[in-house]
């Protein structure tokens, strides 16, 4: 009943890591570094999300990520507008990657994944966990700390820290 396993070293396929990334944090980057070990290609898909009033433009958010992962050739950064399911279909990805940190995350992600699956049966979501030292990180909290003049250097790449400072006139 047990078959030989031949292709252990074969890298996995393509995964789409989607989000707003406003801005990218060390927690997101930790997840990307975990994903490239498992998948042959990781597409970081940056949602436009203008209705959420992001602090940074889509172009800025894409640039922050690109700068942060320039040593990872198997990672691609791309913006998208509209529904993730439509982008997923167009890109031909095999699954979408989402990070899980806490229970509230989990519930929202669960709802989102089921809704997306309803709109596209082939839409599969894969969840991974960042290292436990990043379970408390969120882009929202980082922006709040930066607004209040706090030091966000332990939480984001240095070029993101500088951009936050500049954007918030600090």
Catalytic residues: 28, 52, 101, 139
Max intra-chain CA distance, the chain: 65
**In Å, what is the CA distance from 152 to each residue of 7, 40, 161?**
43, 32, 6
State which residue, 42 or 166, has the beta carbon closest to a copy of itself.
42
Q: Which is nearer to a copy of itself, 102 or 162 (CB)?
A: 102
Give 94 or 159: the residue with its C-beta nearer to a copy of itself.
94
Residue with tokens 């999300």: 49
Question: Residue written as tokens 């993730």?
Answer: 84
Closest to 45 (Cα-Cα) out of 55, 136, 35: 35
Distance (Å) of CA 80 to CA 58, 88, 117, 133: 9, 10, 19, 30
Q: Which CB atom, from 153 or from 162, has the smaller least distance to a copy of itself? A: 153
The minimum distance between CB 162 and a copy of itself, in angstroms, equals: 18
């Amino acid at each position: 009943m047990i078959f030989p396993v031949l292709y252990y070293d074969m890298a996995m396929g393509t995964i789409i890591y989607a989000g707003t990334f406003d801005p990218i944090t060390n927690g997101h980057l930790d997840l990307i570094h975990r994903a490239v070990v498992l998948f042959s290609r990781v597409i970081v898909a940056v949602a436009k999300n203008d209705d959420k009033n992001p602090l940074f433009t889509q172009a800025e958010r894409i640039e922050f990520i690109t700068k942060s992962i320039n040593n990872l050739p198997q990672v691609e950064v791309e913006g998208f507008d509209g529904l993730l399911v439509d982008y997923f279909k167009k890109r031909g990805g095999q699954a979408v990657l989402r990070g899980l940190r806490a229970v509230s995350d989990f519930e929202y992600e669960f709802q989102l994944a089921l809704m997306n699956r309803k709109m596209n049966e082939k839409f599969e979501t894969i969840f991974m966990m960042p290292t436990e030292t990043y379970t408390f990180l969120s882009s929202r909290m980082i922006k709040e700390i930066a607004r209040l003049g706090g030091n966000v250097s332990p939480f984001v790449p240095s070029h993101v820290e500088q951009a936050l400072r500049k954007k918030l006139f600090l």
